[in-house]
Structure 1
Amino acid sequence: MKNEKFEKQLTEWRQYLHMHPESAFEERNTSEFVAKILTEIGLEVHRNIGGPGIVASFKVGDGPDIIGLRADMDAINLTEEGIHPYTSKNPGKMHACGHDGHTATLLGAAKLLMERKNFNGTVRFIFQPAEETGKGAIAMIKDGLFERFPVDEIYGIHNMPGKPAGSISTRVGGFMASEDNFVIRIKGQGGHASMPHMSKDPIVIASEIVLALQTIISRNMDPVVPAVISITEFITDGIRNAIPSNVVIKGDTRSYNSEVQRLLEDRMRTVSEGLCKINGAECHFEYTHEFAPTVNSANCVDIAVKAARNVVGENNVDANAPQLMGSEDFGVFSQKIPGCFVFIGNGDDSEGVGNVPLHNSFYDFNDKILTIGAEYLAELIKVRMPK
């Protein structure tokens, strides 16, 4: 039965957050807003975990299990172009990924669970900063998150434009990819464009490297194992009539497990350094791990799928959704503790709302899915820790 008062409350929370976006580790107003609502609901709030992060716990009965529910709070540095009564009031910042909706959804789940008390165990509500930078989860963990607030499993959600509003999708195993960044610095010898024989042209060397990197996927990877290498920047210090001395290549890689990450890094380093050596140039290779892959536990997926079917019906649940090469900071949690991450459809073309892509300046979270998300998270706790 539709609860219009509850739906209105969640919408007000979400739209307030949308008007006041804060980017990574700056979520002080957001954190205070969340803490205020949790306190009003009746929960004891723990602040300043990994920066502005928040944890609140709620125990019912004597069940030994402890389940974590996580939402991200940060916005991105983007100027909003959509016009709403709740358009961003913070210049150059907007909730273009729907974290305002995720936060409001988890607050709604907390409210439902506090009212219903229909489970036996402990639930922890985890509000994480700095998801977009891939630094928030590890900051909370380093600040003693799981020592101070241990959990047996952890669950998270993310809206997904292009999927029917309120539909829920997930899969066992690798669901979202890692993101590793690389920088290849090539130092050759510049010279006049009319006398290339007197130079060690780093553009030619760098071009060889760019082409050779593509063969790592096609000739070193098992064809059934997904991975991506993308060159996104090619920078020189040359001018129109001068061959440069330096070229910088930047980009990222995506994959679903640590073995593939190591293979990509090792082969990319070997290819880059080898081609530079052959051509008499210097090479400096950097490779950093920014986002861990999000890998769903089979047991946790079973729980999530059962809860989803109870809320939205079997026809609106995809338990074997395609993998996505995008990255999510939830992956750090799933490396430490079994968990499951799901997508909740934000709307597709047929609905005419909610289908603007993430990180687009016209994006907006679909308020119609707030109660669905809250009911799903509350049902998940009921299914996982029945009375």
Structure 2
Amino acid sequence: MPVINRIAEFNEDMKEWRQHIHSNPELGYDCHETAAYVVDKLKSFGVDKIQTGVAQSGVVALIHGQGGDGPTIGLRADMDALPIQEVRDHPYKSKNEGKMHACGHDGHTTMLLGAARYLAETRNFTGTVALLFQPAEEGGGGGLAMCEEGVMDTYNISQVYGLHNHPGQELGSFHTRPGPLMAAADTFTIDVTGKGAHAAMPHLGIDTVLVACQIAQSLQMIAARNTDPLKSCVVSITTIHSGSAHNVIPETAELGGTVRTLDEEVREMVIARMEEIATNVAAAHGAVAKVSYRRGYPVTVNHAAETEFAAGVARAISGEENVDTDTAPMMGAEDFSYMLESRPGAYLFLGGGGGAGLHHPEFDFNDDISAIGASWFVKVVETAQPRV
């Protein structure tokens, strides 16, 4: 596997960086210590400019090539961890109770740092590369915040690329597709109001528990019967809260959950049908239902030309047989979607081999793929903006 030789030489350094970040996880926008560590490394590499405090704790670093003026290409890595208690006992185990890097963002940051070190040393490209170290991917929308703060316009970024590790896929393999790659992720709450009563006299009340259960069952018809079978839709009820005593029919009940879609028309249909189903099922029993629907991350949509370009770079690193450009879309979500709405680009998965899956308390990023990912980042820049 043709990893860049110089990057392979400092692979042990990358392993040390990754394990340091792993030991000191931070959540959401509170990635200040991680950002400080990133900035310290970037300064030691000799990058040309560093902006801190982007989206509270994000970092943007610029490296200018030696090939003359040209466009700016963006490379993004996320820095935040998850509110999960790590269960594996290894020397670099999380020092922060209830927090761990269970999604590999420690590895993503490390791969981009490795690329930064090499690019600052060689500068074998034209124009500029903007390194985007982002907080709050795990539900906080840090990618949107960075875009709203004008990162793309301030640095005149012309295209943007990102990479995510993928345990369970062959080590060093790349997986992507043009068009929808990951789903839109929305959440909802349905508040049901009925009439409380003694549980021994249900005819004197309006049973919100029964109504909530019927709404929950009926909502499954959206995916089963309202969605085109050739399109994707997930409606998951994940919480039901009601009542406080065995002998009381509660006056209120609350359902909550998530909706995942890969198509904006399907998304709009789900919103409309959820309102209709909840309202009418409740009304049929004399109750009232109020739906609160919150749009989350949009669909992560890869741009066709940039996806083929990024896959071509991956082939040069891992070989034709190890690059899949027709991977099935995932119903998980990713706030890199906002950056792809702002600029053309692509998002790829990098196989991490075996081990626990993402968001699992036993997950650990595979350090063996750091040099592969860093090499891919570098070659994206050098291939997109070659030195003349």
Q: In structure 2, how many angstroms separate the alpha carbons of the residues matched to 1:259 and 1:57?
A: 39
Residues 332-371 of structure 1: matches in 2 within 5 Å?
Answer: 332-348=338-354, 355-371=355-371
- Alignment of 1:37 with 2:44, yes or no, is no
Q: Deviations over 1:174-196 (max 9, x none)?
A: 00111100000000112122222
Which residue in 1 is equivalent to 2:374? 374
Amino acid at match of 2:35: S
- Alignment of 1:212 with 2:218, yes or no, is yes
Match for 1:311 among 307, 317, 320? Answer: 317
Q: Hey, which bits of structure 1, 4+ residues long, moved more than 4 A?
A: 1-4
Q: In structure 2, how many angstroms separate the alpha carbons of the residues matched to 1:64 and 1:15?
A: 36
Q: In structure 2, how many angstroms separate the alpha carbons of the residues matched to 1:152 and 1:224?
A: 34
Q: In structure 2, how many angstroms separate the alpha carbons of the residues matched to 1:18 and 1:384?
A: 32
Match for 1:51 among 34, 48, 56? Answer: 56
Match for 1:62 among 65, 68, 89? Answer: 68
Match for 2:29 among 11, 25, 28? Answer: 25
Q: In structure 1, how many angstroms separate the alpha carbons of the residues matched to 2:379 and 2:298?
A: 28
- Alignment of 1:173 with 2:179, yes or no, is yes
Deviation at 1:209, TM superposition (A): 1.1
* Conservation of the 8 A alpha-carbon contact between 2:72 and 2:155: no
Q: Give SS of 1:79's match.
A: coil
Deviation at 1:2, TM superposition (A): 5.0
Q: Deviations over 1:121-164 (max 9, x none)?
A: 22110000000023211221222222322211110011111011
Match for 1:155 among 161, 168, 171? Answer: 161
Q: In structure 2, how many angstroms separate the alpha carbons of the residues matched to 1:52 and 1:121?
A: 26
Deviation at 1:249, TM superposition (A): 0.5
Q: Deviations over 1:247-289 (max 9, x none)?
A: 1010000011322221111110111112222222122210001
- Which deviates more, 230-239 or 154-163? 230-239
* Conservation of the 8 A alpha-carbon contact between 2:239 and 2:256: yes
* Conservation of the 8 A alpha-carbon contact between 1:134 and 1:328: no
Q: Give SS of 2:157's match.
A: coil
Equivalenced residue count is: 381
- For structure 2, the residue ranges without an aligned partner over 5 or more in a row are none
Match for 1:10 among 8, 14, 23? Answer: 14
- Which deviates more, 57-66 or 211-220? 57-66
Give the percent of matched residue pairs that are identical in Structure 1 and Structure 2: 39
- Alignment of 1:124 with 2:124, yes or no, is no
Q: In structure 1, how many angstroms separate the alpha carbons of the residues matched to 2:70 and 2:276?
A: 50
Which residue in 2 is equivalent to 1:73? 79
- For structure 1, the residue ranges without an aligned partner over 5 or more in a row are 349-354
> Could you state the TM-score of these two structures normalised by the residue count of structure 1?
0.95
* Conservation of the 8 A alpha-carbon contact between 1:51 and 1:140: no
- Which deviates more, 170-179 or 75-84? 75-84
- Which deviates more, 116-125 or 221-230? 116-125
Amino acid at match of 2:16: E
- Alignment of 1:227 with 2:233, yes or no, is yes
- Alignment of 1:288 with 2:300, yes or no, is no
Q: In structure 1, how many angstroms separate the alpha carbons of the residues matched to 2:180 and 2:357?
A: 22
Q: In structure 2, how many angstroms separate the alpha carbons of the residues matched to 1:2 and 1:385?
A: 21
- Which deviates more, 195-204 or 222-231? 195-204
Which residue in 2 is equivalent to 1:244? 250
* Conservation of the 8 A alpha-carbon contact between 2:26 and 2:80: yes
Q: Give SS of 2:295's match.
A: strand
Q: CA RMSD in A?
A: 1.4
> Could you state the TM-score of these two structures normalised by the residue count of structure 2?
0.95
